[in-house]
Homo-oligomer: A and B are copies of this chain.
Amino acid sequence: MSDIATRVYNHNFKIDPIVRSLIDTDFYKLLMCQSVHRNRPDTNVVFSLINRTKSIPLARLIDEGELREQLDHARSRTLTRGESTWLRGNTFYGKRQMFSPTFMEWFENLRLPPYELERKGDQYELTFEGKWPEVMLWEIPALAILMELRSRAVLATMGKFELQVLYARAMTRLWEKIERLRRIDGLKIADFGTRRRHSFLWQDWCVQAMIEGLGDAFIGTSNCRIAMRRDIEAIGTNAHELPMVYSALADTDADLRQAPYRVLADWHEEHEGNLRIILPDTYGTEGFLKNAPDWLAGWTGIRIDSGDPATGAETAIRWWKERGEDPTRKLIIFSDGLDVEKIEELHAKFAGRVKVSFGWGTLLTNDFRGLVPNDALAPFSLVCKAVSADGRPTVKLSDNPNKAMGPSDEVARYKRVFDVGAQERLEVIV
C-alpha cells in the first residue's frame, strides 16, 4: 500500500513524473486515434488548453520550468513492450485484437509531438499543432499534468501530518461515497476521472478503493495504464473531437449537417456492440436525434454528457420508441458532472426503463473540496480541445450554452445549420 502523504512530502526528486506512460490516458483516445489514423491521418489540427476557471491563476501557481519538465517528460515516453503486449493481447469489450497490427506498429513508434507554451498574464497558453492522430494524444496528459502541478503547488505549503490528514479526509470522503453507492442495486459504474484527477497516485488509490468497495458494480476505468496495472476493464468509446473536426472540415452547410453522422458511419464500420455508443450533444441532442439515420437507432446506447441529464435521457427514450426500438434493451451512459446524489437520483429514475451506467469523473478522482483553506484544492474546469482543423475553426455547442466553444460567427452558423433552439444555461461544475 503506498503511503501517498509520505510520497507527496518526499517530492524532492529532480522530477517526479506525472505522466509515466503513453497509455496513462483514456481508452477512448486510443480507439478514436485508431479511427482517425485510418480515416483522416493527414488532417492538421490545433489543440489548445483552456482554463474555464479564470479565478485560478495557473501561471502564478505553477512554475513554467516545472511545467516544461513535465511536458518534456511526457514527450520522452514511448510504448513499452508490456504495454504493447497488453494492447495487442487483451480483450476489450469482449473482443480480441481491438487494435489492428497497422495501428499498433505506428503507435509503437510514436512520441507525443512538440508543444507551444507561453505565459499570458496569469494563465498559460498551451497549444499542440500537427497531424491529428498524434496531436490528439496530448489532450489527457496535458490536462493531467496541469491539474497535478496545481495540486502539488498547494500541497507544497503543507506539513507532513497536515498532508497525511488531508489524504485521510479525502479517503474517508470517497469511502463514504462508495458505501452509499454500494446500496444501489444493479449499479454499473466506471472511473472516467483521468483528465482532471488530483494526481496519478490518487486516481490509482480511488480505483483500488472502488474495486474493493463495489465489487462487480465497478465495471472498470477509462485509464489504460491503471486498467493494466489493476487488471480490470478499460472503458470508453468516442468523444466530441470526432464530430468537431469532421464538421470543421465540411465545405458546405449541407456537408456540415451530415458531418456528425459521417463520424458515426466510420465508427459503425469499425466497431460493434458496446462500442456503438452515440454521443449526441455536440450540436444539440434534439436536432441530432431528429435528423439521425435509422441505422443509428440500432446502436447499443447513448452517452449523456451535457445539459440536464434526466431530460437528455427522456429525449433518448422517446427517440428510441419513435424509431421502433425497445428502450429497455438500450444503454444510457451518464458522464457529466456526476456525484453520488446525482447517481442515486438518475439510477432511481431510469433503472429498469433502460440499462443504465455511469462514467464518474472529477468528483471521483478529485473531490478535495473544502479540505484546505480557501478551497485551494477544489477541482476546476480545465479542458483541452481541438480548436481548428486544416486551418478552419472548430465549434462545439453541446446541450449547455456555458460549454459552447468556437468563434461567435461560427457558433451562430452551427446553431442555424443544426437548428438549435433555446437552450437551458447550466452551471459547469467540473
Contact = CB atoms under 8 A, between A and B. Distances in A.
For this chain, the copies found in one complex come to 2
Interface string A24-62: 000000000000000000000000000000000000000
Given A1-B2, A2-B1, A172 B165 contact: yes
Contacts of A2: 1
Contact of A172 (B159, B172, B208): B172
A400 interface: no
A168 B175 contact: yes
A240 interface: no
A209 B160 CA distance: 9
Interface residues of A, number: 18
Contacts of A169: 168, 172
Nearest to A208: B161
Interface string A347-362: 0000000000000000
A212 B162 contact: yes
Given A168-B167, A169-B168, A172-B172, A159 B1 contact: no
A242 to B, nearest CB: 36
A213 B175 CA distance: 25
Contacts of A168: 167-169, 171-172, 175
Interface string A154-196: 0000011110110111011001000000000000000000000
A122 to B, nearest CB: 32
Contacts of A172: 165, 168-169, 172
A213 B161 CA distance: 8
Contacts of A213: 161
Interface string A209-220: 100110000000
Given A1-B160, A161-B208, A164-B171, 9 more contacts: A1-B2, A159-B212, A161-B209, A161-B212, A165-B175, A168-B172, A168-B175, A169-B172, A172-B172
Interface of A: 1-2, 159-162, 164-165, 167-169, 171-172, 175, 208-209, 212-213
